[in-house]
Amino acid sequence: MRAFLLSVVICFAFAYVNAQNPVSPVKQDTTAKLDTIAPAKYVNQGKIAGKKAVYRSLIFPGLGQLYNYGLVVDDVKNGRTQGKRVGQKIYLIGKIGAIYAGGTMLVMSYIDNNNNYKRFLRELQYRQAHNGTPDPNNGLTQYPDVNALTVAKNIYRRNREVVIISLVGLYGLNVLDAYVTARLKYFNVDETLSIKLSPSIINTNTMYGYSNIAPALKLTLRL
């Protein structure tokens, strides 16, 4: 009996000592390396080129089109495109010429309408100050009626406002054209793209035990 009690006490003592010993942490294998490669980040070249073209067109009209022209020249020099792309180069240069030709005509029209507006306005102010007497130095003695002068003044003022709106529209069109041209340059369409349109029929829901058949067209798009 004493031997049994002694053995029990020794077992409890051994278990208590083992419980007091700290458990050593498991070391991580730092030599292990990941055998994976992170995927390359997608770069939208068309978006980048579009932004650059827009910024240049906003700074000065025509610079965006000139930037797009440089992209075409760079593709030809590096062999990314076949041929010299002469037609595309002429088209881009022609757009630059059209922008400046249209802008020049609008500016000249604005100057002419603005000068005539001020001229008729001075005439009206002179006649109002001199009891309806025409100004001999203004060259508008052929307008004896004040109402005719007022109508002409309003016409030139309206034309001047229309020209200003047209200039703003031309400026915006210049920016839009540069952006769209730059984006379309990187818009690639695969040669396997095809569209097929063929006749077909559609079976509609049954009604009173009979199925309704209607003619239709089947559109097949292959990407």
pTM: 0.64
Beta partners for residue 219, in sequence order:
197
Tell me the pLDDT tens digit for each residue of 112-167: 999 999 999 999 999 999 988 999 898 898 988 899 999 999 999 999 999 999 99
Alpha carbons within 13 angstroms on the beta-carbon side of residue 144 total 0
Q: Give the span between the Cα atoms of 65 and 56, in whole angstroms.
A: 9
pLDDT in tens, 65-97: 999 999 999 988 888 888 888 998 999 999 999
Contact 167, 110 (CB under 8 A): yes
Rounded CA-CA distance 16/54 in Å is 79
